[in-house]
Amino acid sequence: MKIDILTIFPNMFDGFLSESIIKRAIDKGFVEINVHDIRSYSTDKHKRVDDYGFGGGQGMVLMPQPIFDAVDDIRTDESKVILMTPQGEPYKQAKAYDLSKEKHLILICGHYEGFDERIRTLADMEISIGDYVLTGGELASMVITDSVVRLIDGVITSDSHIKDSFNDNLLDYPVYTKPVNFRGMEVPAVLLSGHHKNIEEFRKNESLKRTKERRPDLLEKR
């Protein structure tokens, strides 16, 4: 898979791309991730990427020219162009699965007070990562990238994500490691029993109990 990210703050991605599972996925060739500076596509002599909004009352608005030119340059028949915006479709694990099957994603990060409305016509979809407003789409594009890359076959063992929270609309069951007794808190005995069927049943029940307590809305979707 290939992911191209369009941003006016490319340095924000340095740490994200050089650590942990994302770095390993890139190094092993599971994904190619390119970060493009929108400014480098500006035809303005001062490389401007934003201007005042018509009608007043608004701050700076991202101009269409650099973003249209960048997408024209990068897009192929296999690309899905996604605009990061709080007005987009709320992002869910099911969408992460869908996107992990795509060959090429282009993620456009909006910024400042907004982006020129005509930029919307470039996008195959608009995604919001939650009902709050970020200073820009950069963090949102990292959330999408992270959640999609870990689902690409081979990036992590599929066992790890089959049991993820939200698969089946259930939250994860609790997990423990050593020591068996930590500050008086014991690991549930069933997990030490070696009895696989009982362990499986315990985990299923814990998942259901936890989802009922914390996210009853998910159980209604099951």
**Which residues contribute to the site for ligand ADE (CB under 6 A)?**
84-86, 110, 128-130, 132-134, 137, 140
164 is catalytic: yes
Residue nearer to ligand ADE on the CB measure, 94 or 125: 125
Nearest distance from C-beta of residue 134 to ligand ADE, angstroms: 4
Shortest spacing between CB 63 and ligand ADE, in angstroms: 18
Residue 98, number of CB atoms within 10 A of its CB: 14
Quick one: tokens of 208? 């259901």
Q: Is 86 a catalytic residue?
A: yes
- Bridge partner residues of 123 (DSSP): none
Smallest separation (angstroms) from ligand ADE to the CB of 1: 21
State in Å, rounded, how far the first CA of the chain is from the last one.
31
Verify whether residue 113 is a known catalytic residue.
Answer: yes
> Which has the closest alpha carbon to 1: 95, 93, 75, 105?
105
Query: Which of the residues 37, 102, 146, 164 is marked catalytic?
Result: 164
Q: Of the two residues 91 and 202, which places its CB atom closer to ligand ADE in the complex? A: 91
- CB-wise, 35 or 129, nearer to ligand ADE? 129
Comparison of 6 and 140: residue with beta carbon closer to ligand ADE = 140
Question: Among the options 102, 113, 126, 146, which is catalytic?
Answer: 113
CA angle 171, 176, 186 (to 5 degrees): 115
Instruction: Considering the candidates 4, 10, 66, 150, report the single residue annotated as catalytic.
Output: 150
Residue 177 exposed, middle or buried by CB count within 10 Å (0-12, 13-18, 19+): exposed
Q: How far is the CB of 34 from ligand ADE (least distance, A)?
A: 20
| Sheet strands (E) in 38-183 | 50-52, 60-62, 79-90, 104-109, 114-115, 125-128, 181-182
Active site residues: 86, 113, 150, 164
